[in-house]
Amino acid sequence: MDFEQTIIESMHIDTQSKILLPDRKKLLMFLNNLSLFTGRLDIIYCNTFLDEAARLLINSIFLYEDGYFDCAFYSIRQSSELINNMLYLSNNERSTLTDWSTKEWFPMDNRIRSHLEKLSESYKEIKTLIPEYFDKHDDLIKKSNKVIHKQGFDTFYRLRTTFPDEYNFSQEEEIKQFEETLKYTIGVLLIVFIILEPISLALADEEVSPKLNYNLLTEPIDTDYFEEFLGLNDIIPKIKGSKFYQNYIAAFADKEPMLPSVFSVVREEAWDVDALDEIEKQLNLLTPYERFMFHILKCGIRISNFYYCHGWNWYFTTIRCNYNRKSFGGEEFENYLKASNLFNQPCANVYMSVLMMYEEPLYLEHNDPLSEEEIQKLKDLEAEGIQEVQKLNADLAEIMKEDN
């Protein structure tokens, strides 16, 4: 290595104080597993904000551990401001998003927060219910600003590493401040996501979730976070008791709760073949596709996996497949559909069969070849499904004719 390169390497590590945060693994794994996603088409862009906010929080941990303490605090503050911006944009005219995207004038964070209480009744109510949480977070961000804006000699790289005692710098105290700021900001992200997408809390609510007989892109929110990371056991109960949330779940009050086996089909896309009699009691809660699969299993046909949408979507059953599939969709499934004989097509050490599920090809993966009797049952189900579609199309055509 030449002399100049040696100097450059020395410059890179000079004045850095590398550490490992006490809760690093726990925090990083939580952020890695964090799934915040809205399926609302009107605010689908919010998913990029949610992803970026989480990314900034992850970056802050690595920045702090690498010695870039001021950048680490700034990354947390960026995440906090981005969360507020997202909620502000989602409650505003679409043109506001255009202005933001094209870097036109856009209000600063202080003004954004004051606007939010006027734009979103839900946000205003939640802040009123847990003011101490938001006050604490605001206080932590204000303290972070002292570091970000380099107020005090203890925020200077060289002085804090060379003369820590002279400038009253305590690495231990700053680590505590950093982790607390990070944890509270993660909490704000969760709270704002609940306001944005209350279904996330409903999915985590044991009393409400069984009544939601559909599988959504949105995942249940982690309701244990506040108690586990901050020792706060009243945040989620207070949000659940809000008018905002109670009004939201009122729409599901009269819905029939799913039995465990039906819940498994709808939410986990998993069929328990020993619970078909129980599932049959709530066929009305299944989608047409799920009812079609049910009738196949009810015939006693031992299917391990159902695939549709050209093999990209699937349901599995408690009949374990002898083939450990590592790829889905693509040319393989196209070829199954093109075969001259659609049933009992060899696939590794199992078999694939194809039939029409209404107007959608359904691929069946099974360990043993289907018998002629089983194939006929499948053909009968296929014919019944086609007749249902034809009748539906005829009824729709008649309705449209009457309207015209």
Reported as a single tens digit per residue, the pLDDT across 124-157 is 999 999 999 999 999 999 999 999 999 998 888 8
| 8-40 residues labelled b (16+ CB within 10 A) or e (exposed) | eeeeeeeeebeeebeeeeebeebbeebebbbee
SS3 360: strand
The answer to whether residues 223 and 325 belong to one domain is no
Average of per-residue pLDDT across 104-115: 90
Q: Return the pLDDT at 159.
A: 83
The answer to whether residues 152 and 38 belong to one domain is yes
Q: Where do the DSSP E strands lie in 251-374?
A: 270-271, 305-308, 313-317, 345-347, 350-357, 360-366
Is the distance from CB of 308 to CB of 287 less than 8 angstroms? no
Q: Which residues pair with 351 in a beta bridge?
A: 346, 366
In this prediction the pTM is 0.88
C-alpha 222/C-alpha 205 separation (Å) is 10
Give pLDDT tens digits for 159-173: 887 778 888 888 899
Among candidate residues 198, 217, 252, the one where a domain is terminated: 252
Among candidate residues 252, 271, 295, the one where a domain is terminated: 252
Mean pLDDT for all residues in the chain: 92
User: Does any domain span residue 2?
Assistant: no
Q: Return the pLDDT at 223.
A: 96
Which domain, by its residues, includes 147?
11-252
| N- to C-terminal Cα separation, the chain | 83
User: Does any domain span residue 274?
Assistant: yes
The answer to whether residues 279 and 370 belong to one domain is yes
C-alpha 139/C-alpha 323 separation (Å) is 56
The answer to whether residues 276 and 394 belong to one domain is yes
The answer to whether residues 242 and 301 belong to one domain is no
The answer to whether residues 272 and 237 belong to one domain is no
pLDDT above 80 for 395:
no
C-alpha 34/C-alpha 59 separation (Å) is 15
Is the distance from CB of 148 to CB of 73 less than 8 angstroms? yes
C-alpha 353/C-alpha 74 separation (Å) is 56
C-alpha 4/C-alpha 306 separation (Å) is 63
Angle between helices 121-129 and 171-196 (to 10 degrees): 140
C-alpha 153/C-alpha 88 separation (Å) is 36
The answer to whether residues 139 and 277 belong to one domain is no
The answer to whether residues 208 and 129 belong to one domain is yes
Give pLDDT tens digits for 171-186: 899 999 999 999 999 9
Q: Which residues pair with 350 in a beta bridge?
A: 347
The answer to whether residues 159 and 275 belong to one domain is no
Q: Which residues contact 48 (CB under 8 A, 6 or more apart)?
A: none
User: Does any domain span residue 5?
Assistant: no
User: Does any domain span residue 6?
Assistant: no
User: Does any domain span residue 327?
Assistant: yes
337 versus 16: which is more confidently predicted?
337
The answer to whether residues 245 and 271 belong to one domain is no
Q: Return the pLDDT at 403.
A: 67
pLDDT above 90 for 402:
no
Q: Which residues contact 55 (CB under 8 A, 6 or more apart)?
A: none
The answer to whether residues 184 and 247 belong to one domain is yes
User: Does any domain span residue 288?
Assistant: yes
For the four alpha carbons of 339, 340, 344 and 347, in that order, the dihedral sign comes to negative
pLDDT above 90 for 12:
no
Residue type, 387: Q
Q: Which residues pair with 353 in a beta bridge?
A: 364
Which of 240, 202, 245 is closest to 221 using CA atoms? 202
Lowest mean pLDDT among 216-225, 272-281, 394-403: 394-403
Number of independent structural domains in the chain: 2
Among candidate residues 235, 252, 269, the one where a domain is terminated: 252
Q: Return the pLDDT at 327.
A: 85
The answer to whether residues 246 and 268 belong to one domain is no
Lowest mean pLDDT among 41-55, 73-87, 106-120, 137-151: 106-120
Give pLDDT tens digits for 219-276: 999 999 999 999 999 999 999 999 999 999 999 999 999 999 999 999 999 999 999 9
User: Does any domain span residue 167?
Assistant: yes
Q: How confident is the model at residue 7 (pLDDT cuts 50, 70, 90)?
A: confident
Q: Return the pLDDT at 287.
A: 94
User: Does any domain span residue 3?
Assistant: no
